Amino acid sequence: MSSLHLTAFSRRDKQLADLTAAAHAILALDRAFKRLLPGQLGQFCQVACVRDGELVVYAHNSTVAARLKLLGNSLLAPLQRQGHPLRSLRVKVLPTPPKLRKPKSFALSEAGVSAFDDAARQIRNPVVREAMLALLAHHKSR
């Protein structure tokens, strides 16, 4: 669905039209904000909203948040000149959800365990031999 279809559809309902207009305004502000940022900093943040003249920006991590806070006033002045009624900048760090660990699906067959056991006993380096035997003990316990 393209934005043209959404715009045409949203004209049918005033609340939806208002919401669509607000979303377009935030997206435009986000683009304007990111154009002001140095380097690739814009890839790691996004404009969230404007509340009572306060521009709220989400940063992907605390390093980006610190950099945005340092740039604060130098970012607001150009946006104000572009017609955005902003008085202050608030930067929040987005919490990142923990990565889900995939269950291990690797298992050695009995023949594989036996072959690795024979090979481990022939290894001369004691550190490597102990590591291999520990790995085998783990697979034998399954």
Q: 85 CB contacts (<8 Å, ≥6 apart)?
A: 50, 53
* CA distance readout (Å), 30 to 6, 98, 106, 137: 20, 27, 45, 55
| Summary mean pLDDT of the chain | 86
Is pLDDT at 11 greater than 80 in this prediction? no
Is pLDDT at 38 greater than 90 in this prediction? yes
pLDDT at 10: 65
Percent of the chain with pLDDT over 90: 44
Which residues are bridge partners to 89 per DSSP?
Answer: 55
pTM for this model (two decimals) = 0.61
Is pLDDT at 42 greater than 80 in this prediction? yes
Using one digit for the tens of pLDDT, what is the confidence trace for 106-140? 777 888 888 888 888 888 898 988 888 888 887 77
DSSP letter string, 69-98: HHHHHHHHHHHHHTT----EEEEEEPPPPP
Which residues are bridge partners to 51 per DSSP?
Answer: 54
> For residues 109 and 89, is the Cβ–Cβ distance under 8 A?
no
Q: List the Cα angle 38/44/45 in 5-degree steps.
A: 90
